[in-house]
């Protein structure tokens, strides 16, 4: 299994806090993602896994049928998207994604990448630049670039919880040892 | 366009849940100050997106079924011509089969409410009402209307946004079905929604552990006071 969190480990604590609240909001308030030019629905919040800040893209597991995958593979050494002003990971091979509504280039699926971007392979990376989000709770359209979809690593929370459980367990052993002692003492005194 | 549902099949939970209590095909629901009529369709819609998450290999976490009490997944309604979102099912207020309309309590900023008042006489039922038209701010196409003055029998529809089913399309959350081929589920990252479930369960475990710790402290205190006696 890839370490999905490796490429976003540079988050500061403040950013993490902010991200957690944003994610919370996203899950509880449904969002759909639309083409900024023709409004075609590209994806929704149920199919997204987070954000790849290095390429300014949303990471999606599932997209609508209106996202066309170009079968021809392209490659980039300089990190520049051909014919489109956008940033791509350097030294990567990819298939471009096209909006079925207006034929604009809307993202990529990475096929080959350097090591630090391995986790991003074979996923839909949708550019945030020209994407709009429809937020159900407010009924508003906002630019995707104004929202933050990055995720905080879960590992820290798991290890914090593990430590808490271990502390409770040792506390329990102490208490149970004391109780055992008392019981033995009581038994001896009653025999005497 | 496989993901566009026929609007008549769609029926949000809050409406469908009342189905059992209804004697006839129609019932009146009271929602705070607004009274509106709900037509019940029998078409059922089921969603399987959560199932997929439940059976992610290698993970035994049980995801609470979000739709358990909510029923159907949310739906966004789009302008039929330019696909701008015009509203969503969170503000669902019912549907009018006879006039082929859906009723929403709220619409998005993309809908322009007309300033001119019209006398409505399009069909027998709404003859004698005053309406304002709703248009899409993206393409100016007519989307529906708001009844601003109605006779008593149509009071339930007054001040609601009535969108013509023929003028709109819909997209159901979770109906995106295109995935990258040839990727095993083990290599896929989890979705934000799934993470949220994991985080919620971590919080629950933490709360239980903390309460166990507190109970232990109490026991320990009791024990100490007993031994001092």
Q: What is the pLDDT of residue B106?
A: 93
Q: Cβ A32–B173 below 8 Å, yes or no?
A: yes
Residues A77, A31 within the same domain: yes
How does DSSP classify residue B155?
A: G
Is A96 part of any domain? yes
Is A54 part of any domain? yes
Nearest to B159 by CA among B137, B140, B134, B136: B134
Residues A161, A120 within the same domain: no
- Does residue B207 surpass a pLDDT of 80? yes
Share above pLDDT 70 across residues of chain A, in percent, rounded to a whole number:
79
**CB neighbourhood size of A44 (10 A):** 29
Residues A176, A147 within the same domain: no
Question: CA-to-CA distance for A116 and A130, rounded, in angstroms?
Answer: 26
**Among candidates B79, B174, B192 on the partner chain, residue whose Cβ is nearest the Cβ of A50:** B192
Residues A129, A158 within the same domain: no
Q: What is the pLDDT of residue B98?
A: 83
CB-CB neighbors (< 8 A) of B185 in chain A: none
Residues A91, A169 within the same domain: no
Closest residue in A to B200 (Cα) is A24
Q: What is the pLDDT of residue B87?
A: 94
Tokens at A67, concatenated: 């996202």
Tell me the average pLDDT across B110-128: 80
Residues A40, A112 within the same domain: yes
Closest residue in A to B181 (Cα) is A122
Is A173 part of any domain? yes
What is the domain-level CATH number for residue A93?
A: 2.170.150.20
**Among candidates A4, A101, A168 on the partner chain, residue whose Cβ is nearest the Cβ of B213:** A168
Residues A163, A174 within the same domain: yes
ipTM: 0.73
Residues A112, A183 within the same domain: no
Question: CA-to-CA distance for B125 and B93, rounded, in angstroms?
Answer: 19
Q: Cβ A119–B189 below 8 Å, yes or no?
A: yes
CB-CB neighbors (< 8 A) of B2 in chain A: 65
Of B22 and B117, the one with more pLDDT: B117
CB-CB neighbors (< 8 A) of B196 in chain A: 23-24, 27
Radius of gyration, CA atoms only, chain B: 25
**CB neighbourhood size of B48 (10 A):** 8
Task: Tell me the residues of chain A between 85 and 124 that have a Cβ less than 8 Å away from chain B.
Answer: 101, 109, 119, 122-124
Q: What is the pLDDT of residue B228?
A: 76
**CB of B162 within 8 A of CB of B4?**
no
Number of structural domains chain A divides into:
2
Alpha-helical (H) ranges within B2-157 are 13-16, 49-54, 67-70
Q: Cβ B205–A161 below 8 Å, yes or no?
A: yes
Residue A51 sits at the chain B interface (C-beta within 8 Å): no
Nearest to B7 by CA among B218, B222, B168, B188: B168
Question: CA-to-CA distance for B51 and B53, rounded, in angstroms?
Answer: 5
**CB of A81 within 8 A of CB of A87?**
yes
Q: What is the pLDDT of residue B13?
A: 43
Q: Cβ B191–A168 below 8 Å, yes or no?
A: no
Residues A137, A182 within the same domain: no
Share above pLDDT 90 across residues of chain B, in percent, rounded to a whole number:
36
**CB of B70 within 8 A of CB of B92?**
no
CB-CB neighbors (< 8 A) of A158 in chain B: 202
Q: Cβ A49–B87 below 8 Å, yes or no?
A: no
User: Looking at A151, A166, A184, which one is the last position of a domain?
Assistant: A151
Is A61 part of any domain? yes
Q: Cβ A167–B213 below 8 Å, yes or no?
A: yes
- Does residue B40 surpass a pLDDT of 70? no
Residues A127, A37 within the same domain: yes
Q: Cβ A32–B189 below 8 Å, yes or no?
A: no
Tell me the average pLDDT across A11-26: 47
Q: Count of A–B CB contacts within 8 Å? A: 169
Residues A117, A180 within the same domain: no
- Does residue A9 surpass a pLDDT of 50? no
- Residue A163: domain span: 154-192
Alpha-helical (H) ranges within chain A are 13-28, 155-191
Is A1 part of any domain? no
Domains of chain B: 7-45+74-172 (2.170.150.20)
Q: What is the pLDDT of residues A123-163, one digit of tens each?
A: 999 999 889 999 998 888 999 999 888 888 888 889 999 99
pTM for this predicted structure = 0.71
Q: What is the pLDDT of residue B46?
A: 33
């Amino acid at each position: 299994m890839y370490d999905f969190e490796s490429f976003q480990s540079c988050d500061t604590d403040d950013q993490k806090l902010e991200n957690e609240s944003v994610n919370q909001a996203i899950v509880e308030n449904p969002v759909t993602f639309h083409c900024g030019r023709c409004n075609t629905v590209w994806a929704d919040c149920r199919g997204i896994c987070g954000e790849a800040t290095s390429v300014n893209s949303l990471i999606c597991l599932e997209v609508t049928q209106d996202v066309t995958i170009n079968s021809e593979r392209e490659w980039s050494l300089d990190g520049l998207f051909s014919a489109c002003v956008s940033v791509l990971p350097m030294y990567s091979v990819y298939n471009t994604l096209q909006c079925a509504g207006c034929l604009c280039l809307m993202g990529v699926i990475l096929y080959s990448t350097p090591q630090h971007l391995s986790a991003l392979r074979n996923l839909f990376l949708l550019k945030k630049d020209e994407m709009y989000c429809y937020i159900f709770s407010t009924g508003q359209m906002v630019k995707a670039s104004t929202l933050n979809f990055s995720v905080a690593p879960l590992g820290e929370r798991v290890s914090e919880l593990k430590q808490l459980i271990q502390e409770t367990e040792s506390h329990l052993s102490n208490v149970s040892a004391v109780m055992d002692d008392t019981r033995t003492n009581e038994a001896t005194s009653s025999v005497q | 366009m496989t993901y566009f549902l026929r609007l008549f099949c769609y029926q949000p939970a809050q409406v469908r849940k009342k189905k059992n209590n209804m004697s006839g095909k129609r019932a009146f629901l009271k929602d705070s100050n607004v009274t509106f009529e709900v037509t019940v369709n029998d078409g059922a819609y089921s969603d399987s997106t959560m199932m997929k998450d439940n059976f992610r290999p290698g993970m035994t976490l049980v995801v609470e079924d979000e739709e358990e009490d909510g029923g159907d997944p949310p739906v966004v309604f789009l302008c039929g011509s330019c696909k701008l979102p015009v509203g969503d099912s969170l503000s669902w207020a019912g549907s009018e089969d006879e006039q082929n309309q859906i009723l929403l309590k709220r619409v998005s900023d993309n809908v322009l409410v007309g300033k001119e008042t019209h006398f409505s006489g399009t069909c027998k039922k709404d003859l004698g009402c005053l309406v304002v038209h709703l248009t899409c701010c993206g393409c100016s196409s007519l989307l529906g209307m708001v009844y601003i003055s109605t006779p008593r029998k149509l009071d339930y529809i007054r001040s609601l946004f009535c969108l013509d089913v023929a003028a709109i399309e819909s997209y159901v959350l979770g109906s995106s079905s295109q995935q990258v081929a040839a990727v095993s589920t083990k290599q896929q990252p989890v979705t934000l929604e799934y993470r949220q479930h994991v985080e919620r369960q971590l919080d629950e475990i933490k709360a239980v552990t903390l309460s166990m710790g507190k109970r232990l402290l109490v026991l320990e205190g009791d024990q100490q006071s007993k031994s001092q006696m």
